[in-house]
Amino acid sequence: MFFCEGNSHNSSDCLFVSLFFVNSLTINYICTPETSGLKNTNQQALSTTNSISLKSIYTDFLEITKARLAVSVVFSSIAGFMLGVADFSLDWLILIKLAVGGYCMVGASNAFNQVIEKNLDALMDRTKNRPVPAGRMSSNMALIIASLLTIFGIIILYTINPKTAMFGAISIFLYTSVYTPLKTMTPLSVFVGAFPGAIPFMLGWVAATGDFGVEAGTLFLIQFFWQFPHFWAIGWFLYDDYEKAGFFMLPSGKKDKSTALQIILYTVWLIIASLLPFSGFTGSFYITPIAAVVVFLLGLWMLFYAVRLYKLRTAKAARTLMLVSVSYITLLQIVYILDKFLR
């Protein structure tokens, strides 16, 4: 804040407040002038600046928290919640808390990640325009956002039950403190990152039941195996961009048959894990024969594109597999939910 008083050259007192949100953005407010020294054009310019500023803040917030990714993760948590509740007895308040708290958790992880990797993000085409590396947002502001999201997220999830808050906190820690640093050291970073990545699906079950048992463990296992073909496909078609920052994302370090073969192997493990609820060994979480057939067909669909990548070994084939993997996990969760409420 800056206060200026009248002198021999000024006949009025004024209060000038400058609020800095990002390096390239300043919002100016002129408060309680004693004389009408402002012109209408200045007021219009101020109004336009404020409007642009609010829009920029909102856009950068969505980008720093990776809103699209966060929403997809929240969807997984909601799916797990619906599988965990008793039939037709949804608690909408808990569901809303899970959605908001889950978004905070994912948003915090992404914000911390972008602060840690700001210099590396500046090297890659797909990330160089993010708020921090592009200079639109300071690292300190990003840290404040990440910290507030962490605090609010844990508090909100704790009001559901302590276990939900605990797993949410674990996911942030693993993602920012273990997975992120390992990305420039070893391809095993994907294995480590699969743990926080697999938490959301089972988090919903824990939120609904307050218990972590074989059911929640099964949900965790499904999304855990899904991480590998999904992220290796991303690592494949973005290989050149990742290489600029020194990220090791592929298991063999190369776009070769070995990596493609492992993608196929983990896709098979994913199919097996997805069919476990039909085995009768997953407690109260089970699916009917019809649902099992649909799940198996979805698995064959994804396996087809994994084999296709092995044969073609092109960036286009890898991108297609990535899109199919996203569709697979979404459709799988929908099939599980429909099977529960329609049987």
Name every residue whose Cβ is closer than 8 Å to that of residue 17 and which is 6 or more positions away in sequence. 1, 2, 28, 29, 31
Reported as a pLDDT band with limits 50, 70 and 90, residue 91 is: confident
Evaluate if residue 153 carries a pLDDT over 60.
Answer: yes
Per-domain boundaries in the chain? 2-55, 66-219, 226-343
Three-state SS string across the chain, please?
A: CEEECCCCCCCCCEEEEEEEEECCEEEEEEECCCCCCCCHHHHHHHHHHHHHHHHHHHHHHHHHCCHHHHHHHHHHHHHHHHHHCCCCCCCHHHHHHHHHHHHHHHHHHHHHHHHHCHHHHCCCCCCCCCCCCCCCCCHHHHHHHHHHHHHHHHHHHHHHCHHHHHHHHHHHHHHHHHHHHHCCCCCCHHHHHHHHHHHHHHHHHHHHHCCCCHHHHHHHHHHHHHHHHHHHHHHHHCHHHHHHHCCCCCCCCCCCHHHHHHHHHHHHHHHHHHHHHHCCCCCCCCCCHHHHHHHHHHHHHHHHHHHHHHHHCCHHHHHHHHHHHHHHHHHHHHHHHHHHHHC
Task: Dig out the tokens for 257 from the structure.
Answer: 């048959």
| Confidence band of 118 (pLDDT split at 50, 70, 90) | very high
- pLDDT at position 54: 77
Is the pLDDT confidence value at 262 over 90?
A: yes
Residue 17 pLDDT: 32
Distance of alpha carbon 35 from alpha carbon 41, whole angstroms: 17
The two structure tokens encoding residue 247 = 């990220």
Whether the predicted pLDDT of 314 surpasses 80: yes
The pLDDT tens digits of the residues spanning 120-146 come to 999 999 999 999 999 889 999 999 999
* Residue 251, pLDDT score: 93
Average pLDDT value for residue range 328-338:
97
Residue 203 and residue 237 in contact, taking contact as beta carbons nearer than 8 Å: no
pLDDT of residue 42: 47
Residue 211 predicted with pLDDT over 70: yes
pLDDT given for residue 231 in this prediction: 96
Instruction: State how beta strands 2-4 and 14-22 pair.
Output: antiparallel
- Average pLDDT of the chain? 86
Per-residue pLDDT averaged across 226-250, rounded? Answer: 94
Question: Sorting pLDDT into bands at 50, 70 and 90, what band is 88?
Answer: low
As a whole number, mean pLDDT of residues 169-178 equals: 95
Residue 28, pLDDT score: 33
pLDDT category at 199 given cuts 50, 70, 90 is very high
The topology under which CATH files domain 66-219 is Tetracycline Repressor; domain 2 (1.10.357)
Question: Are 333 and 76 spatial neighbours (Cβ–Cβ below 8 Å)?
Answer: yes
Record the pTM.
0.82
Each residue's pLDDT tens digit, 277-297: 999 999 999 999 999 999 999
167, 44 in Cβ contact below 8 A? no
pLDDT of residue 11: 38
Q: Bigger pLDDT: 20 or 247?
A: 247
